[in-house]
C-alpha cells in the first residue's frame, strides 16, 4: 500500500466512523430497523464509497447477521441491547466497525466491557506478536469484569476485496490462528462479543438467511438465478450482499431464488446468529492496520 492509498484508506476510516456514530445516535425505541439500515447504507454511497457488506442491526440475543428484508416492519424495542455493524470499502480496501447501544442502564457496563476488550486487544496488535496474545487480552478483560465471551465468534484478517481472509482473532484463546505472527501491513477487524455470565456463551444460526456471498461461479437454467448471478459477479464480487440490494435492480423479491442458489452451493448464506441460551450480547469492533510503529486504528478514535 503506497502513501496515496494509505491516505485514502485513512479518510475512508474517518468517514465510516462518522457515519457509524451518527447512526448509533439514531437508535432509539420505536425506530424502524429498515429505515436505519437503509439510511446508513445511503450515507456511505453518498460519500463515494461502496458497501463491504449489508449493515447489520442485531437486537438483544441476536449477536450478528441481521439485516432487514424488503418490507421488514421490525422496530427497535423499548428495552434491550442493539448492535450496529457496518462495512465500507474503497477499491476493495475494507473498514469494518460496530457499536452497541444499551437501551437499559443494566446493560451499559456490558457495552463498556466490550469496548475495553477491544482497546486492550488493539494494544497488542504489533509486529511479531502472536494472535494468542490478542485473543488473551479479549478473554481476560471480559472474564475479569464478570462477563462471558462468545466463544464461536471471532475477529478476522482483512485483505483487498476479502472480508474474512482466513486468520481469526477469537474471543477465547483457542484455535488454529493462535500461532499466527502479526506482520507489518496486516489489516484486522477486531470484534469482542460479550454476554452475561449465566449464558452458555456461543451462537447458533437461527431463521431465514438474510445475507449472502458468492462462493463460486455456477451455471443454471433458471433465468432469475442467472440474472442474480450476473448482478452479484459484476457489483459485489465475493463480498456479502443482501436481497434488498437486488430488489432495487430486479423490482421484486428474490428470496426463493437466493435460497436455491445457496442450496446448489453457488452462494454462501449467513443466517442470523443467536446466543443459544437467549441472553443479551454486546459487540464492539474496529479495523486496525499494523505498522512498524504499532497498531493504526482506521476506525474509531485514533491514538
Q: Which residues are catalytic?
A: 85, 96, 156, 164, 191, 285
What does the DSSP 8-state code read for residue 277?
A: T
Q: Is the dihedral of CA 187, 269, 100, 73 positive or negative?
A: positive
Cell of 38: 437503509
Cell of 142: 471480559
d(CA 114, CA 64) in angstroms, rounded, equals 15
Spatial neighbors of 285 by CB under 8 A, at least 6 apart, are 85, 96, 97, 98, 99, 118, 155, 189, 190, 191, 192
Assign residue 19 a region (left: φ > 0; alpha: ψ between -120 and 50; beta: otherwise): alpha
d(CA 58, CA 193) in angstroms, rounded, equals 12
Cell of 37: 439500515
Quickly count helices (H) and strands (E) in the chain. 7, 17
Q: Which residue has the cell 464492539?
A: 284
Strands 81-90 and 50-59: antiparallel
Exposure b/e, 234-271, CB count within 10 A at least 16 = b? eebeebbbbbbbbbeeeeeebeebbebbbeeebbbbbe
What does the DSSP 8-state code read for residue 298?
A: S
Cell of 44: 456511505
Amino acid at each position: 500500500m503506497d502513501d496515496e492509498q494509505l491516505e485514502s484508506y485513512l479518510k475512508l476510516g474517518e468517514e465510516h466512523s462518522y457515519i457509524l456514530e451518527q447512526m448509533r445516535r439514531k437508535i432509539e425505541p420505536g425506530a424502524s430497523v429498515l429505515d436505519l439500515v437503509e439510511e446508513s447504507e445511503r450515507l456511505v454511497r453518498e460519500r463515494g464509497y461502496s458497501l463491504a457488506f449489508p449493515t447489520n442491526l442485531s437486537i438483544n440475543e441476536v449477536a450478528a447477521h441481521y439485516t432487514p428484508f424488503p418490507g421488514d416492519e421490525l422496530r427497535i424495542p423499548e428495552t434491550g441491547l442493539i448492535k450496529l455493524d457496518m462495512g465500507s470499502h474503497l477499491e476493495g480496501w475494507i473498514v469494518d466497525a460496530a457499536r452497541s447501544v444499551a437501551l437499559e442502564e443494566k446493560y451499559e457496563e456490558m457495552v463498556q466491557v466490550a469496548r475495553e476488550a477491544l482497546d486492550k486487544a488493539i494494544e497488542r496488535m504489533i509486529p511479531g506478536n502472536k494472535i494468542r496474545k490478542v485473543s488473551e487480552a479479549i478473554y481476560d478483560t471480559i472474564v475479569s469484569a464478570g462477563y462471558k465471551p462468545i466463544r464461536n465468534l471471532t475477529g478476522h484478517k482483512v485483505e483487498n476485496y476479502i472480508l474474512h481472509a482466513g486468520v481469526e482473532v477469537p474471543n477465547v484463546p483457542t484455535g488454529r490462528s493462535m500461532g499466527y505472527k502479526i506482520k507489518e501491513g496486516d489489516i484486522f477487524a477486531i470484534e469482542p462479543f460479550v454476554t452475561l455470565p449465566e449464558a452458555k456463551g456461543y451462537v447458533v444460526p437461527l431463521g431465514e438467511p438474510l445475507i449472502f456471498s458468492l462462493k463460486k461461479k455456477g451455471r443454471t437454467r433458471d433465468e432469475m438465478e442467472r440474472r442474480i448471478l450476473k448482478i452479484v459477479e459484476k457489483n459485489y464480487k465475493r463480498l456479502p450482499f443482501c436481497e434488498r440490494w437486488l430488489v432495487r435492480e430486479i423490482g421484486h423479491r428474490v428470496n426463493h431464488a437466493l435460497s436455491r442458489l445457496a442450496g446448489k452451493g453457488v452462494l454462501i448464506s449467513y443466517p442470523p446468529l443467536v446466543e443459544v441460551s437467549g441472553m443479551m450480547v454486546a459487540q464492539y469492533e474496529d479495523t486496525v492496520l499494523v505498522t512498524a510503529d504499532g497498531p493504526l486504528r482506521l476506525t474509531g478514535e485514533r491514538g
